[in-house]
Structure formats: C-alpha cells, structure tokens
Amino acid sequence: MIRGFYIFVLVLLLLTLVFNINSNLPRFPWDININRGIQLYIPLISAIAVAIMITIILNSIGK
C-alpha cells in the first residue's frame, strides 16, 4: 500500500513539472488549473491514470 502511494506521489510530481513547463500537452478536463498571478497546473487525473498503468506493469513484471 505504501509503495503504491509513493509511486502515485512521484508520478504526480513529475507530471506537474512536465505539464507546467510544456503547456501544449493534452489535458484532462478534471485536472486542476490555477491561474492567479502565476499559472499552476496539477494533473491529478493524469497522475492517477499513469500510476495505475505503472502499478500494473510493475506487478506483471514482478510475477
């Protein structure tokens, strides 16, 4: 359970960094976009989707 949480947090941080640097990437409508003075984009749904895919891949490799 803790390993999955660490994977999710790492993916969320990496996606946040990537999406904030490159604004031309596609975005899900449920992701959080804050535009008050500075623009901050938090790809929450994208991070969940990528974390699920990484977990499935790591679990299939481990067996």
pLDDT (tens digit per residue) in 6-20: 887 888 788 777 777
Q: List the chain domain ranges.
A: 2-58
60 class by beta-carbon count within 10 Å (0-12 exposed, 13-18 middle, 19+ buried): exposed
The full 3-state SS of the chain, as one line of letters, equals: CHHHHHHHHHHHHHHHHHHHHCCCCCCCCCCEEEEECEEEEECHHHHHHHHHHHHHHHHHHHC
32-62 per-position pLDDT tens digit = 778 888 777 777 887 788 788 888 887 888 6
- The overall pTM is greater than 0.75: no
